[in-house]
Amino acid sequence: MTKLLHNKVAIVTGAGRGLGRAHALELARHGARVVVSDIGAGTPGSPADAVVKAIEALGGAAFAIDVDVTNPVQVALMVKAAVARWGRVDILVNNAGILRDKSFAKMSLDDFRLVMEVHLMGAVHCTHAVWNLMREQQYGRIVMTSSSSGLYGNFGQANYGAAKMALVGLMQTLALEGERHNVRVNCLAPTAATAMTEDLLTVEDLALLAPEAVSPGLVALVADDAPTRMTLLAGAGSFEQANITMTQGIFLSAGECHPEALMMRFSDIADRQAETVPATGFDQLRHEVAKAKAAQA
């Protein structure tokens, strides 16, 4: 065990299997005390209890708790239990998730809503439950689990993609609001072989995509020196950053500002030379007003 996260208190949702299990173990290896949150935790032989035993075998401290992240009352009780045992919560890893994959034409609204409830509202419930605690203690590290399905799209995952991109938007704003309180918020977009991907990939690809290859990225996002507002992509030993950028675009005067003129210049609008990563949403406004004033001059 290392001391990178010595005595930090971490909550990991969906921690009984797959990525959540790998995250919980990696956090513990670096000294964190871990709340292993999972549906069914506490029942004999549950995956969450097995994770706790594995952490204890490493010399770490952990306890399992049965939590449905769509239930804010259960989430609040989980945070209360963590504080009662260890006095604080330093790290929150919003990992819990489900799949209900179908093409949008065949997808029921119930399946769309359920995926949004688990991924998006589950993360909202957990984050809301620790937010003021982290602000008051002037320390917090929160990771949202995003996905390439949200960032770039995947056929048959309209519900999942919508939820995962919504988490990026949540991260962007919370990182700004948490900055002066030393609460850093990031996204992790993993590629890993889990129960959610086993039917989607070849055996050869699955062998390369161990969840354990992602978790070092997770630890880097919750360390004392972690960045904030980063969307870190991770899988098979590779790490990349995703950015939402803004091109320089074009300006059309009042006399030429009509749909036909715009349509003729889509390629100019899409030109990525000198594109920027806006610091806040107001940067779009500033950029557009500056172009309009320059044209007037």
- Which are the catalytic amino acids? 160
Q: Coil, strand, or helix at residue 147?
A: coil
Cα angle 201, 157, 176 (rounded to 5 degrees) comes to 110
Helix, strand, coil shares of the chain, percent, nearest 5, are 45, 15, 35
In the sheet with 140-145, reading across from the earlier edge strand, the strands are 62-66, 33-38, 9-13, 91-94, 140-145, 183-190, 231-235, 238-242
Query: What does the alpha-carbon distance between residue 120 and residue 146 come to, in Å, rounded to a whole number?
Result: 10
How far CA 196 is from CA of 18, 232, 266, in Å, comes to 9, 20, 38
Helix ranges (H only) for the chain are 18-29, 47-57, 72-86, 109-116, 122-137, 148-151, 158-178, 203-208, 215-222, 259-264, 266-270, 282-296
C-beta of residue 102 within 8 angstroms of C-beta of residue 111: yes
Neighbours of 77 (CB within 10 A): 14
Beta bridge partners of 37: 13, 65
Compute the distance between CA of residue 105 and CA of residue 90 in angstroms, rounded to an integer.
42
Residue 293 phi/psi, 5-degree rounding, is -65, -40
Q: Give the span between the Cα atoms of 114 and 164, in whole angstroms.
A: 13
In angstroms, the CA 24 to CA 171 distance is 21
